[in-house]
A and B are shown apart, each in its own frame.
Chain A
Amino acid sequence: MARTPITNRIRRLRFDADEMTQADLAKRVGVTRQTILAIEKGKYSPSLEVAFKIAAVFGVPLEEVFAYPDADLETREKC
């Protein structure tokens, strides 16, 4: 898969959640550890379902986990 423009704060959020491991997060979301690793590195864009599940694990809104910098720029330009 090509590198995605979507950025994420999963590593930071894991650290803040008592240093949750990738394996623990993967188990709670229902994907493999390798998928969490790929998402963290920005090499794989998860589906909306998995993105919401990740946000729910950390108890934060989706936009606190994922960001799309180009979209933010476009929104600011329109305002």
Chain B
Amino acid sequence: MMNTTFYERSCWVSLLATLAVSWWFFAQTIPLLTVEELPDRAGLKALTSLAVIAVVLFIVVQVIGHIVAAVVTHPEDEDERDRRISLRGEQVAGIVLGLGVISTIGHILASGWFEHEMLVLLGSPFGILNLLVGSLALAEVARCLTQIILYRRDA
């Protein structure tokens, strides 16, 4: 980690924060996807609260991680290579997020046409929220991984 800039360390922090918070969020919600009945109004309210807590947790972990990264590596101004790598990461994240949104729309449409239990569950507000949060998490992981790979390939 000697040849790393603050921006590369920032990618590692974001990646670890995303993985940790996503793991926590889905550890709470995925077991609910196996229930026979769709979660009721109270269940959806609890899920929404979980999503809000996940966002707050994500921000807190990111802030603490970036403070640690800034202490370990003196932050420098972003240069043209950092900006190019950042753009490439955002491009990949955009594609992943787009695919996630399209597949969510596909699930909603499929749940209207077919009676399969899993499709009905994923097409419900409960399922849609999980799919969208999952897409966001995957897009963030893809962004961080792309940037880390590009930084490591150049190092």
Contacts and interface: CB of A to CB of B under 8 A. Distances in A.
A44 B85 CA distance: 11
B150 interface: yes
**Size band of the B side of the interface?**
10 to 19
8 contacts: A31-B81, A32-B81, A35-B80, A37-B3, A37-B154, A38-B81, A41-B154, A50-B80
Interface in B1-40: 3-5, 8
Interface in A55-76: none
A34 B80 contact: no
Interface of A: 1, 30-32, 34-35, 37-38, 41, 43-44, 46-47, 49-50
Interface of B: 3-5, 8, 76-77, 79-82, 84-85, 150-151, 153-155
Given A1-B84, A37-B3, A31 B79 contact: yes
Q: Is the interface of A mostly helix, strand, loop or mixed?
A: loop
Contact of A30 (B79, B150, B153): B79
Contact of A31 (B80, B154, B155): B80
